Structure 1
Amino acid sequence: MMHALPKPADPPATDPLARLLQAHPETVFDYFEFRRVMAGNAAALAAERATQEDLARLRACMDAMEKAHALDDPAQEAATDAEFHLAVYESAHNLVMSQVMHRIFDMLKVGVFYDRIDLYRRRGVRDAFLRQHQAIWQAIASGNPEAARTMAEAHINSTEESLREAQFANSRRDVALRRRAGSDLTGRIRAGQTAGKLVDK
């Protein structure tokens, strides 16, 4: 039986919890630790409890994700990704889990933990994520709780690893840009000093 889900009291921009988490970027990896537990359990429960209506919704989410992938639309693909996961949580038929994860995904959609759209722009990430979502869907549709748990946890691990790689790449790029800016500044200063000396002579 599906339950009506109450809306969060505050939008993500004014939610005290969202503001607290956004002020501490290191909590992104606490988020992944939490998601690993929740995603695995939710997928396993969904494989056991999903109704025909749940399976139809999951199939529709999967279709939408595949269409967005074919269009090479990272923003739309990230949105359909979120809808798929929320459908999995609701298919677990645990009201507390659904409500908690709706709040988490509201924060995720506005970038409280990390920029999901930017992650989808990374080379190879989109293809890997699509295959992982398809594997989760197939395990749930076939009623295999252990496979669903394994696939869901593997997807969270892959997402975390992709984010670490993206952060490392961004860090290297920022260092390179700072070095380049420093070199340009040094070059301009030296040129100015030389010009001044020539004028003095």
Structure 2
Amino acid sequence: MMHAAPPSPPGTAAEPAADPLARLLQAHPETVFDYFEFRRVMAGNAAALAAERATPEDLARLRTCMEAMEKAHALDDPAQEAATDAEFHLAIYEAAHNLVMSQVMHRVFDMLKIGVFYDRIDLYRRRGVRDAFLRQHQAVWQAIAAGNPEQARTMAESHINSTEEALREAQFANSRRDVALRRRAGSDLTGRPR
């Protein structure tokens, strides 16, 4: 089940109603899996490039992002953890030192923050997801810090695969819940009263 976040305040990410790409993607919820396919390619390549190209300043920013994510995780704050997750990934794209990649991914993350693809905070509220995501982010960070491009690529792609799987499971659970609620309300599976 797709949940859209409320629109961002003026001056931040474009509201879906004003953005043709966001409108198109929201009109076709199945594109969330196109998004994951795209992210898998981009995240793996960006992590590998970051492992090769990151400057000491980039590594310091990534370390700061990782520490912020660990702190949010310890506070059990899904919204803050989702926000630090996004900052960590954007720092990787910037550490790849590919301006086109960085700009494209900033735009993609703007849409992600306003719920165009899926509700990230809801995903972080799911049992076991937060712990797994933290371990995966730590593995990506360690591979980049070690200057190991292939390990960084593998860990980043694995994280995107895990995120996609978590979303599929969440959608399936939401669908089961909706069916159960309709049954309790006295409707058949199509939502018509019995």
> Retained in 2: the 8 A contact 1:3–1:95?
no
* Partner residue, 1:4: 4
When residues 13 and 98 of structure 1 are mapped into structure 2, their CA distance, relative to the original with a 3 A threshold, is farther
Deviation at 1:183, TM superposition (A): 6.4
SS in 1 for 2:181: helix
Deviation at 1:13, TM superposition (A): 4.9
SS in 2 for 1:13: helix
Deviation at 1:162, TM superposition (A): 0.3
When residues 179 and 11 of structure 1 are mapped into structure 2, their CA distance, relative to the original with a 3 A threshold, is closer
SS in 1 for 2:2: coil
- Aligned pair count reads 190
> Retained in 2: the 8 A contact 1:119–1:163?
yes
When residues 157 and 2 of structure 1 are mapped into structure 2, their CA distance, relative to the original with a 3 A threshold, is closer
When residues 17 and 142 of structure 1 are mapped into structure 2, their CA distance, relative to the original with a 3 A threshold, is same
Gaps in structure 2 of 5+ consecutive residues: none
Percentage identity across paired residues of the two chains: 90
> C-alpha separation between the residues in 1 aligned to 2:27 and 2:50?
34
Deviation track 1:54-111 (CA, whole Å, cap 9, x = no partner) reads 0000000000000000000000000000000000000000000000000000000010
Deviation at 1:152, TM superposition (A): 0.1
When residues 13 and 69 of structure 1 are mapped into structure 2, their CA distance, relative to the original with a 3 A threshold, is farther
When residues 38 and 27 of structure 1 are mapped into structure 2, their CA distance, relative to the original with a 3 A threshold, is same
More helix by share: 1
When residues 4 and 144 of structure 1 are mapped into structure 2, their CA distance, relative to the original with a 3 A threshold, is farther
- Note the aligned Cα RMSD (angstroms): 6.2
Q: Which has the larger radius of gyration?
A: 1
Runs of 4+ in 1 over 3 A off after TM superposition: 1-13, 183-190
Gaps in structure 1 of 5+ consecutive residues: 191-201
* TM-score normalised by structure 1 residue count: 0.86
> C-alpha separation between the residues in 2 aligned to 1:160 and 1:75?
19
